[in-house]
Chain A
Amino acid sequence: MLLTMSKVEIVGVKTLFFQVLETLQDLGTLHLEDITKKRGPRYADLIPMEMDPALEEERNLLQNLAMRNNAILSELAPPAEKISRSVIEEKYKSFQGKSLAEISAMVEEEESATKELISYKNELEVELSRLSKYEPIIKKVYPLASKVTTTEQYTSIALLIEERYKGVLDYIESELEKMTGGQCDVFSARVDENTHAAILVFHKRFSEQVHNFLATENVNQVRLPTELADKPYDEALKEIEARYKEIPPKLKKVKEDLEDISNKWYATLVALKDYLADRIDSLNAIPKFGQSGHVFVITGWMPSDEVERTRKILEEKFEGKVELTEEVPSHEEMEEAPTAMRNPSAVKPFEFIYLLINPPKYGYLDPTFLVAIFFPILFGFMLGDMGYGIALFGAVMLVKHILKKRESKSIFFNLFANVLLICSISTFVFGLLYFEFFGDLLIRAFGWKDAAGHLQVQWIWGYTSNGQPFGWPLERIAQANQKMFNLLLIVVIIIGALHMGAALLIGLIDGLRHGDRKHAMEKAGFLMFILGLVIIFGSIWGFKGAKGVAVPLGAVVAVAGIVLAFVGGGFGGGLEAALTFGNLLSYARLYGIGLASVILAEVANELGAEFGGGLMIVLGIIVAALLHTLNLALGILSPSIQSLRLNLVESFTKFYKETDVVYKPFKRSGGE
């Protein structure tokens, strides 16, 4: 449900302004409004507060400190032992009594302790990454290079040539001899399955010619780091190898030193990050406030049940020099009221949809409870399998455990994990209705299928129009009874009618509450149209005795609904009412997706059973388990998306009004 919000105005003497701001940030209940954007006589005498140069300078310094502190924090790995919130909170409080100069000195101390280590670590990592590129080359060329001796007048080039092109070496050798007049030597050897290494030794004065020749022939030359380019290959490679071996222990030592620093400083750095962010936020908020003579004025919104507590705290703390008053908002101001939600724990996970669309507008009904009722029903109807329900429950619990262990802050995943947990229960319940346990495993085990492979109903509830019984278990692939499809189609359309009906009812109530007669008429028209359809199809497929009266009656109600929607919402309203029929039929997807799921599950069992007896049973079980895993994965994805679609498209489009303003109280980070 949406919280009732109150518009409040806080007035106090200017000298207390910063203390009041700090108190409000501590309380964390006030959603600030920008007074400069306010119009009307109430705000005419107010002058927006301005940042004086001293405050501006303070903000710049805070921003600079925050940037430096965050830079250090980003370089340090969090300590292995989890830091408790209370430790961070305690450190946060310790900053409140410190001056900016003290905090600045602390950041400098942190910097001096970490800066050199961090830059040394980065240097080592860059060097290691650079040298690691030479490692495979060293392994290939070094054995050959160590056999080659060169003098000062001679230089060498190493080449790596693929096995299939090794013939090119003879060509290179003959060209080199021509170029140098025989003052050269070529050593080559096969270094692995696919590569030949070669070292060309020649007089230095032919260096340019040889390099040009190799470049035009597109031969893969081994290039050494610039600082080693002049050294003979064996020496250069030896040096690279030695350096490559030296770095890891050095890097390990630096990382250990940084770990020590992290253990000592991390909590302080996190607390400082929060503290600085809060102070910057607080200074940034100043231009939103108004002033007049000797007083400051802060306006905003807060949950109504917080008003008294806040008023009392302000009164006690500032001895009546600061006053909080509850204002009666104008119609325009109500449009800007922020939306805050407070739902019971069973409904709260379904707030995940507000990560996809904006929350509802303030003053309208919160439809989260509608999603909480119908999302699991729609999901369970589609997946409906006791085995899948249990597996999904286990998988979600595992994911939740992992999320908790990793301290995941992803709101979407945390909420959606709980949604899936609730859906796993509805999957189990619908599975019980269909008596499906990993498809037809239990039905096979109990021998509830006849010779033709059709499910035998164990508990007869009634008979379809062709005289065949239906009941428990409710068969989804009713090949023996085609009329079962009609029955299940009626069930999904009833679910759709209830879902859309509830949505339209919310729209109707919202229209009436806001005195919007046209809106209410339009929604009433939609509702009447759906009611008309239910009467018509109910009499055709269900109560056939009343067909003669019910069909014309339903038609009249449906047409009256279209007319009413036309009056309320114009041509678009009338058209949308008629298109509601399409929305209703759209719920047939529940049956379609469910059918695909159960058929795949039965195919998995059938395939597993095909492997026969003996040891092949194990293989059969593996194949069946793999297919069931695939089906479950699809079974989670598809019903989630389809349920979401039915909620967002078929239901929400009928009534939903999004807000532009979400309640964001002015509060401190609180050690987060």
Chain B
Amino acid sequence: MELGLIAIGAALAIGLSALATGWSQSKIGAAMAGALAEKPELAGNAIIMIAIPETMVVLGFVISFLITGLKPE
């Protein structure tokens, strides 16, 4: 496979998953900020909720790194 394609693949893997994480966190973050204003005791849940979508970008990062390990033909 060409080096350029490998690079694009890796970039897409991390880029798209980062966008997805960001989008989810923006939605959850806004909702949790509202919830915290009413119930500050939900701080622990807020961290958990906001942190959940991060798995996507972490997996994207792993895939991206695995792709960069491929040898160009």
Contacts and interface: CB of A to CB of B under 8 A. Distances in A.
Interface string A567-586: 00000000000000010011
B6 to A, nearest CB: 12
A585 B59 contact: yes
A485 interface: yes
B62 interface: yes
Nearest to B51: A645
B48 A485 contact: no
Contacts of B54: 586, 589, 645
B47 A356 contact: yes
Given A585-B55, A645-B54, 18 more contacts: A353-B44, A356-B44, A356-B47, A482-B69, A483-B69, A489-B62, A489-B65, A585-B58, A585-B62, A588-B59, A588-B62, A641-B51, A644-B51, A645-B47, A645-B51, A648-B48, A648-B51, A653-B48
Q: Which 6 A-B residue pairings sit nearest by Cβ, starting from the closest?
A: A356-B44, A357-B44, A645-B51, A589-B58, A482-B69, A592-B61
Nearest to B43: A356
Contacts of B68: 482
B70 to A, nearest CB: 9
A539 B54 CA distance: 29
Given A485-B69, A649-B48, A582 B55 contact: yes
A588 B13 CA distance: 15
A609 to B, nearest CB: 27
A168 to B, nearest CB: 47
9 contacts: A356-B43, A356-B44, A582-B59, A585-B58, A585-B62, A586-B58, A589-B61, A592-B61, A649-B51
Please tell me the size bucket of the interface on B: 10 to 19
Contacts of A645: 47-48, 51, 54
Please tell me the size bucket of the interface on A: 20 to 34
Interface in B38-73: 43-45, 47-48, 51-52, 54-55, 58-59, 61-62, 65, 68-69
A284 B47 CA distance: 36
Interface in B15-58: 43-45, 47-48, 51-52, 54-55, 58
A653 B44 CA distance: 12
State the majority secondary structure of interface residues on A: helix
A588 B61 contact: yes
Contacts of B58: 585-586, 588-589, 592
A485 B47 contact: no
A111 to B, nearest CB: 35
Among A486, A585, A645, chain B packs the most CB atoms within 10 A around the CB of A645
Contacts of B59: 582, 585, 588
A505 B69 CA distance: 36
Contacts of B69: 482-483, 485-486
Contacts of A644: 47, 51
Contacts of A592: 58, 61
A648 B62 contact: no
A641 B47 contact: yes
A641 B62 CA distance: 20
A588 B68 CA distance: 16
A355 B40 CA distance: 11
B38 to A, nearest CB: 17
A355 B47 CA distance: 12
Nearest to A358: B44
Contacts of B55: 582, 585-586
A120 B52 CA distance: 56
Contacts of B48: 645, 648-649, 653
Contacts of B47: 356, 641, 644-645, 648
Among B44, B45, B54, chain A packs the most CB atoms within 10 A around the CB of B44
A353 B44 CA distance: 8
Given A589-B58, A641-B51, A485 B65 contact: yes
